[in-house]
Amino acid sequence: MDSIVVTGNGPLHGSIPIAGAKNACLTLMPATLLSDEPLTLTNAPRLSDIKTMTALLQSLGAEVSDLADGTVLAMSSHALDNHTAHYDIVRKMRASILVLGPLLARTGQAVVSLPGGCAIGARPVDLHLRALESMGADLDLRDGYVHASAPQGLKGGIVDFPLVSVGATENALMAATLAKGTSVIKNAAREPEIVDLAHCLRKMGAQIEGEGTAEITVQGVDRLHGATHPVVTDRIELGTYMLAPAIAGGEVELLGGRLDLVGAFVEKLDAAGVDVTETATGLVVKPRNGRVKSVDVTTEPFPGFPTDLQAQMMALMCTADGVAHLHENIFENRFMHAPELTRMGAQIEVQGGMAKVTGVARLKGAPVMATDLRASVSLILAGLAAEGETRVGRVYHLDRGYEHVVRKLSSVGAKIERVKDA
Ligand code: UD1
pLDDT of residue 122: 55
- Which residue has a Cα nearest atom 7 of ligand 1? 23
pLDDT digits (tens, 9 = 90+) for 62-121: 999 999 999 999 999 999 999 999 999 998 899 999 999 999 999 999 999 987 544 545
Report pLDDT for 118.
46
Ligand 1 centroid – CA 94 distance (Å): 9
Residue of 139, 164, 166 with the most ligand 1 atoms within 8 Å of its CB, for mutation: 166
d(CA 117, CA 139): 22
**Radius of gyration, CA atoms only, the chain:** 21
The upper half-sphere exposure of residue 109, i.e. CA atoms within 13 Å in the direction of its Cβ, equals 8
- Which residues on adjacent β-strands are paired with residue 348? 357
**Rounded to an integer, what distance in angstroms lies between the CA atom of residue 254 and that of residue 376?**
20
Domains and CATH numbers, the chain: 2-19+233-420 (3.65.10.10), 22-230 (3.65.10.10)
Q: Report the nearest atom of ligand 1 relative to the CA of 128.
A: 23
For the chain, residues with pLDDT lower than 70 are 116-123
The predicted pLDDT at position 186 comes to 98
How deeply is 322 buried, as exposed, middle or buried, from its count of CB atoms within 10 A (0-12, 13-18, 19+)?
middle
- Preceding amide of 11 cis, omega within 30: no
Closest ligand 1 atom to the C-alpha of 95?
Answer: 8
Please give the distance, rounded to the nearest whole angstrom, from the Cα atom of residue 234 to the centre of ligand 1: 17
Task: Say if CB 417 and CB 389 are below 8 A apart.
Answer: no
Which of 330, 334, 378 for a ligand 1 pocket mutation test, highest count of atoms within 8 Å of Cβ?
Answer: 330
CA of 5 to the centre of ligand 1 (A): 31
Q: Which residues line ligand 1 (CB under 6 A)?
A: 23, 26, 94-95, 121, 123-128, 163, 165-168, 306-308, 330-331
Q: 166 CA to middle of ligand 1, Å?
A: 6
Q: Tell me, what's the pLDDT at 78?
A: 95
Residues labelled as active-site residues: 118
What pLDDT is attached to residue 422?
73
- Give the residue whose CA is nearest to atom 24 of ligand 1: 123
The separation between CA 372 and the C-alpha centre of its own chain, rounded to angstroms, equals 12
Instruction: Give the residue whose CA is nearest to atom 17 of ligand 1.
Output: 124
**Following DSSP, what letter does each residue of 71-138 receive, concatenated?**
TEEEEE-TT----EE-HHHHTT-GGGGGGHHHHHHHHSEEEEEPP--SSSS----HHHHHHHHHTT-E
- pTM given for the model: 0.97
